[in-house]
Structure 1
Amino acid sequence: MSDAPLIPKPDLVVSIVSHGHGPQVLALLKSVARLNRVVSRVVLTLNVPEPELRAAVGNLPFTLEVLCNEAPLGFGANHNKALAGATETHVCILNPDVVLDADPFESLMGAVAGKKSTCAYPVQVDGGGRIQDSEREIPSLWTLFRRRLMGRSEVRVDWVNAACLLMPTALWRELKGFDERYFMYCEDVDFCLRLKLNGGHLVKVPVKIIHAGQRASQRRLNHLAWHVRSLLRLWASPVYWRAQQLLTRAPSSKGTIGTR
């Protein structure tokens, strides 16, 4: 009898949204094609017109569905639209500026196998291999002050950024995807808080992706305004206050594979 590990069957849909990320998306699709063993479909949403990207894609060993928006939508609305009606067993949110040196999807799928309330995420590093700041506590004025001005690290993993999140499709549907009232910021915070309020778990898997994207809110005034507006909406939401009560009572823990 063979001792080779069991490879999950290709039954994963990946949602990627491009905001003029043509070359990066093309490189990402080629990496998925080269490394992939479990992706069966990719939904690529062009949030702005990119006819040159559509022409450059070519043949791929998975189904590629391209959606073209007549007007730009927010992060959550785009992914909700892309994954509506998904028939695959698992879904994955993937940023267009992610670079893959190895296949993260198989390990992520393995981490949630048989765990219907678990969402898996990889280790994020920058182009130099340094660990990225992708795991955070529930945001408050105190945690923001402590991190930004005091330089102190997080003590809990209450939420992770959505550069790469993989989960069972049933869980995505149960949580009803992202809350589209958030535009460009805090969708991932709200999603992770609702996951935990629903009894779910975030699990970090020891597989790396490269994510060197910079926060546009630190460079553009309109993005800063969206970020502040989303934070205010989050702080005013019942989800935030219920999660604050739940998570601040929970013991400190880091989200690693095999731990909750």
Structure 2
Amino acid sequence: MKPEVSIVIPSYKNSPLDLENLHKNIANLDYPQVKVKVVNIKVSEGKKRIGYAEAANKGILRNKSDLILLINADTKLDKDLLKILVGYTRKNPEVGIVGPKVYSMSDPLEVSPVDLPVLSFNKFFGKMKKVDPLWLENKRKPFSVAWISGSCMLFRRRVWKKLSGFEKNYFMYWEDADFCMRTRNLGYKVFLVPNAKIWHRSGASIGKDNPERIYYVKRNSLYFLEKYTLPPGVILNGIKTTFLIFVKTLRYFLGEKEVSKAYIRAVFDYLRRKKG
């Protein structure tokens, strides 16, 4: 008998149609003899705003399955997704997290450029090497990565418990990379399994150029690099950020007010240690 899998779906400004379609999609998964649990959690709960990471943790706490599938609400899952990911996880106990190949919802035959896994991370310089999209399109065998996109990841509950869950101080964005890095630091591996597939409409809930997204992506990238980069990399990143602040300030006065303001605010909030 196949192990039970809990599916957790943190949602933030997603349309009811997105969630309805995903529920139908989940019902058609080819994963027999298992009770799949779906938990929808609003990232904003009443007066208290909770981020993606905390929403994911709340959903996982409400379930007792040994395997957790964390997915975004704006995704479409291939019917064999769970069968492939669970099968690979069971055969490889050293693997803590697995993820699928992520295609773009707008171009179903094209690998999603915003969901590319990071192949390696240079701690000395704070540089990441993403997988080449063309190489990934033709890749069939599973391979080890530094981290995968949080749009879809399957992981063991015991790994999540050892890490005390996702780091809620990120609020949203970069919590997936942090979770993968901490998993690898425990001695587990992170793998991408190309035969498993999903489609993702990135930015459906918040928009790619939304100032809120720009703010959290930039601020949290600084926290991430500070946490996992050696001093030379931190210094180099500081120089780069200082230069970009100068550029964004110029663009602010040239008319790109909202985007530039979000970027500048992200850097200053990082410097004054604002989290969550």
Same fold (TM over 0.5): yes
Contact 1:13 1:40 in 2 (8 A): yes
| Cα distance in 2 for residues equivalent to 1:168 and 1:112 | 9
Post-superposition shift, 1:74?
Answer: 0.9
Q: Does 1:180 align with 2:168?
A: yes
Name the SS of the counterpart of 1:25 in structure 2: helix
Name the SS of the counterpart of 1:111 in structure 2: helix
- Equivalent of 1:23 in 14, 17, 34: 17
Counterparts in 2 of 1:176 and 1:125: CA distance versus 1, 3 Å: same
Q: Does 1:191 align with 2:173?
A: no
| Cα distance in 2 for residues equivalent to 1:234 and 1:172 | 19
What is the correspondence of 1:238-253 to structure 2 with a 5 Å cutoff?
A: 239-241=228-230
2:86 is aligned to 109
Number of corresponding residues: 211
Counterparts in 2 of 1:158 and 1:165: CA distance versus 1, 3 Å: same
The one-letter amino acid of 1:233's match is Y
Q: Does 1:135 align with 2:127?
A: no
What is the correspondence of 1:217-236 to structure 2 with a 5 Å cutoff?
A: 218-236=208-226
Contact 1:12 1:92 in 2 (8 A): yes
Counterparts in 2 of 1:218 and 1:95: CA distance versus 1, 3 Å: closer
Q: Does 1:34 align with 2:28?
A: yes
Name the SS of the counterpart of 2:28 in structure 1: helix
- Equivalent of 1:213 in 202, 211, 220: 202
Identity of aligned residues (%): 21
Post-superposition shift, 1:171?
Answer: 1.5
| Cα distance in 2 for residues equivalent to 1:153 and 1:168 | 28
| Cα distance in 2 for residues equivalent to 1:44 and 1:75 | 12
| Cα distance in 2 for residues equivalent to 1:159 and 1:42 | 24
Moved over 6 A (4+): 139-142, 151-154
Higher helix share goes to which structure? 2
Contact 2:43 2:52 in 1 (8 A): no
- Equivalent of 2:43 in 27, 44, 47: 47
Counterparts in 2 of 1:152 and 1:99: CA distance versus 1, 3 Å: closer
Name the SS of the counterpart of 2:182 in structure 1: helix
Give the TM-score of the pair, scaled to structure 2: 0.67
Name the SS of the counterpart of 1:138 in structure 2: strand
Counterparts in 2 of 1:177 and 1:183: CA distance versus 1, 3 Å: same
Structure 1 segments unaligned to the other structure (5+ residues): 1-6, 49-67, 245-260
- Equivalent of 2:69 in 88, 92, 117: 92
